[in-house]
Amino acid sequence: MTTKITFVGMPEVGKTTIKKVIFEGEDPNKLVLFPLEASVRIDYSVHEFMDSKIVLIDTPGQSLSDLLKDEEKQRKSFENANAIIYIFDYPTYIENSEDIINDIRSIYNINKKHEFGAKIILFLHKVDLIIAKKIGFKLAIVKKQINKLLSLPEELSIHFTSLHPNLIYTIYNALSDTVGTFSEEISNLKDLIKKLIKNLSKTISLVSNKEDNLIIQLMSDDFDTSILFSLYEKIYKLSSSPDDLLSKSNLIILDSKILHAVSANISVFNANFKNITFLSETLERNELDHLIGEIKEILN
């Protein structure tokens, strides 16, 4: 299966850096110290992701205004695209939200006018630059604000992303969520997990790929999303420990919340996946073990 994705956004918001880190294996810490030069032309590349082949179009930020006016360039960049991902960073949004909102509206209208049929997705990048103890609450407010300002006939998907080591899960999950719409392997596993947790309370499931990056995140309706970024940081620290603590049952303490966590390796069923983890405020270890058992039995 081939999925065509177009990256678009203002200059220096991180489009090419995301591509280099996610699809080409570059070290994000190295790119922070030695930033890439700004792209000056449209770049086409092909990558493998799970069971999908990704055709990625990386558009230069310097030419964004031309792209939004030139129909020929629009067809080159957007025609036959499965997804158009508009990437903007948090500092630029704070300083220049009006221009960003206008860009997104323009892309939405171009997509409708030419009937490209692409899914438009927003990545609010560099969220690690937000200085706030409860970053989740702040981002929930930002999400509502963006959709209110856009005032479009439909709400657009918004992902909050970062390449900071403690939050690297966010960008993999955002891209996986995008590609997962077109990936049979990801879609099937998501559907299975959804059925298992749909009637549960305050429970989340995370799945990593063979490179240990989070590619699936599903949760019950009442899960407290304000703790997600603290949870990402905690999981990063645990998974980086020599004892591989997430392979066992654990209690994870976040502020005033205590979550039971159970993880298991599912690569024997599909080599593209590695670990599945369930975390819950309400379920005990034996109940989480039962969920793991159900997953394994169905996959088998």
Give tens-digit pLDDT for 23-82: 887 877 776 655 556 666 888 999 888 778 899 999 999 889 999 999 999 999 999 999
Q: Residue 172: which pLDDT band, with cuts at 50, 70 and 90? A: confident
| Residue 138 three-state SS | helix
For every residue of 257-270, DSSP letters joined together read: EEEEEEEEE-TTT-
Most confident of 51-60, 80-89, 178-187, 243-252: 80-89
- The structure tokens listed for 138 are 């702040």
Distance CA(93)–CA(75), nearest Å, equals 27
Distance CA(228)–CA(186), nearest Å, equals 21
pLDDT at 286 over 60: yes
CATH class belonging to 185-299: alpha beta
Residue listed under structure tokens 């310097």: 62
- The structure tokens listed for 168 are 């690297």
Average pLDDT over residues 144-161: 93
0.85 cut: is pTM over it?
no
| Side-chain half-sphere exposure of 175, counting CA atoms within 13 A | 30
Sheet holding 257-265, edge to edge: 214-219, 203-209, 273-280, 257-265, 250-254
Q: What is the second-level CATH architecture of the domain 2-180?
A: 3-Layer(aba) Sandwich (3.40)
Distance CA(200)–CA(181), nearest Å, equals 24
Distance CA(267)–CA(270), nearest Å, equals 5
pLDDT at 234 over 70: yes
Hey, where are the domains in the chain? 2-180, 185-299
| Residue 281 three-state SS | coil
